[in-house]
């Protein structure tokens, strides 16, 4: 997924990113603002990852998101703004 797609879906991604990487803050995501290199830098900073490890984790995240949106067309949860796995309930309920 290129930066344009990541940036274009940033609001949708933010909840999923916070769910995936709990050490990141809203401020971290505001700084990243959809830029893959900035997100990788924040993962390096918060988790002590090497650059290639951070980028690899982002690629895996994107692949899961791509699979979810193409195979199930799962909608964004109206309660929390996160795409939950098919057949699961929003944990905020």
Q: pLDDT truncated to tens, each residue of the chain (93 aa)?
A: 455 556 667 777 888 899 899 999 999 999 998 888 999 999 999 999 999 999 999 988 888 877 655 554 567 777 777 777 777 777 776
| Backbone torsion region of residue 88, taken as left when φ is above 0, otherwise alpha when ψ lies between -120 and 50, otherwise beta | beta
Identify the domain containing residue 66 by its residue range: 3-71
92 in a domain, yes or no? no
60 in a domain, yes or no? yes
CATH number at residue 31: 1.10.1470.10
pLDDT at 1: 47
Residues near 18 by beta carbon (within 8 Å), at least 6 away in sequence? 24, 26, 29
Concatenating the DSSP letter of every residue in 32-85 gives: HTT-HHHHHHHHHHHH---HHHHHHHHHHHHHHHHHHHHHT-PPPPTTTS--PP
Query: What is the tally of structural domains in the chain?
Result: 1
76 in a domain, yes or no? no
pLDDT at 62: 82
31 in a domain, yes or no? yes
pLDDT at 89: 77
């Amino acid at each position: 997924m290129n930066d344009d797609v990541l940036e274009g879906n940033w609001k949708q991604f933010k909840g999923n990113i916070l769910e995936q990487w709990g050490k990141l803050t809203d401020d971290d995501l505001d700084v990243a603002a959809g830029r893959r290199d900035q997100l990788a830098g924040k993962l390096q900073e918060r988790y002590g990852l090497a650059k290639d490890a951070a980028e690899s984790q982002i690629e895996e995240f994107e692949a899961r998101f791509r699979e979810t949106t193409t195979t199930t067309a799962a909608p964004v949860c109206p309660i929390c703004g996160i795409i939950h796995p098919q057949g699961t309930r929003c944990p905020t309920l």
